[in-house]
Amino acid sequence: MRFLKIAVLLFFVSVFVNYFSAVNAMDMEHGQGAEMQSGMKCEVCGMNVMKGGKGNFVIELKDGSTKTTDSPDCGMLLRGNLSENVKSAKVTDYNTKELADADSAYYVKGADITTKKDKLEKGLMPNSMVAFSTKDAAEAFQKEHGGEVLNYEAAVKSLSGKKMKKHGHDEKKGHGM
In the chain, what are the domain boundaries? 31-162
Helix (H, G, I), strand (E, B) or coil at 96: coil
pLDDT digits (tens, 9 = 90+) for 125-168: 888 999 999 999 999 999 999 999 999 999 999 998 776 555 54
Region at 169 (left for phi over 0; alpha for psi -120 to 50; beta for the rest): beta
**175 pLDDT band (50/70/90 cuts)?**
very low
pTM (2 d.p.): 0.71
pLDDT given for residue 1 in this prediction: 73
* Neighbouring C-beta atoms of residue 129, cutoff 10 Å: 30
| Alpha-carbon span 106 to 111, nearest angstrom | 13
| Alpha-carbon span 143 to 177, nearest angstrom | 27
| Alpha-carbon span 6 to 34, nearest angstrom | 32
DSSP state of 131: E
| Alpha-carbon span 54 to 92, nearest angstrom | 6
pLDDT given for residue 43 in this prediction: 86
DSSP state of 33: -
pLDDT digits (tens, 9 = 90+) for 42-80: 989 888 888 878 889 999 999 999 999 999 999 999 999
pLDDT digits (tens, 9 = 90+) for 1-33: 776 666 555 554 454 444 333 334 333 333 333
pLDDT digits (tens, 9 = 90+) for 86-117: 999 999 999 999 999 999 999 999 999 988 88
Q: Determine the distance from the C-alpha atom of residue 3 to the mean position of all C-alpha atoms in its chain, rounded to a whole number.
A: 47
Where is pLDDT greater, at 171 or 56?
56
